[in-house]
Amino acid sequence: MRYGSKLYIWLDKLEDMFLESKLISGTKIEDLYFDICRMWKSSVDLMYYKPINFLTNVRLYKSFLWNNAWYDHYFIFDMLKLKLKIDSKMYKERGMALESENLAKEMEYCVGILERICEDDYDSICSNDIPLDDIINGVRNDKNKDKFLECMKQAEEARNNDIKKLFEYMSKYILKWWD
């Protein structure tokens, strides 16, 4: 339950009392009352809920804010992954849309792709083909060098395919991800 929700319940009851009163209905007093209520609710949001929301966001994203690095695409992927994880969890717990579970699953699918991208384990695709000594000491002979370059090309293609798949999927579904 939100803080101050009892206050909102009390204000709603007061509004109902005013709406039902024949002496006040349709007069300037009623207009003044509703203006005061709107001002009160917006000031409570501005002075109470917005700062709490800000502090909650700072707590959630503090490690990312601290570790921000310029020109680091993995930072962007990590931030997107965290945001999608949080939103997916919120959709499961408190989603108000009819398809909240499906929307959470769509976000989790993107999180899975983002985890694979952030792990950056694409080089393991063909690491068994090249002797470990050649990888550690640098590739010296031409036969293994060609294999190594081919493996790196395959790894880069796999990474690019995952990134392409992620953003194509997100472009298809992201506009539905709101409650």
Of 66, 100, 121, which residue is a domain's last?
66
> Rounded to whole angstroms, how far apart are CA atoms 126 and 157?
13
Within a 13 Å sphere around the CA of 92, how many CA atoms are in the beta-carbon half?
11
What pLDDT score does 1 carry?
Answer: 44
Residues 51 and 107 in one domain: no
Verify that 62 and 73 share a domain, yes or no: no
- Rounded CA-CA distance 94/89 in Å is 8
The whole-number pLDDT of residue 116 equals 92
HEC sequence for the chain? CCCCHHHHHHHHHHHHHHHHCCCCCCCHHHHHHHHHHHHHHHHHHHHHHHHHHHHHHHHHHHHHHHCCCCCCHHHHHHHHHHHHHHHHHHHHHHCCCCCHHHHHHHHHHHHHHHHHHHHCCHHHHCCCCCCHHHHHHCCCCHHHHHHHHHHHHHHHHHHHHHHHHHHHHHHHHHHHCCC
Query: pLDDT at position 129, please?
Result: 61
Please state at what angle helix 100-119 crosses helix 142-173, rounded to 10 degrees: 160
Could you read off the pLDDT tens digit of each residue along the chain, which spans 179 residues? 455 567 667 777 777 776 677 766 677 777 777 777 777 777 777 777 788 888 888 888 887 777 776 777 888 898 899 899 988 998 888 877 788 899 999 999 999 999 999 898 877 776 666 655 555 555 555 666 777 778 788 889 999 999 999 999 999 999 988 75
pTM over 0.85: no
Same domain, 74 and 55: no
Q: Which two tokens stand for residue 141?
A: 């002979």
For residue 140, the model assigns a pLDDT of 56
| Same-domain check for residues 107 and 160 | yes
pLDDT at residue number 28 = 77
Q: What is the structure's pLDDT at 132?
A: 54
What is the Cβ-side half-sphere exposure of residue 100, based on CA atoms within 13 angstroms?
A: 13
Both 62 and 76 in a single domain? no
User: In total, how many domains does the chain have?
Assistant: 2
Q: Tell me which residue range forms the domain holding 176.
A: 69-179
Among 35, 66, 97, identify where a domain stops. Answer: 66
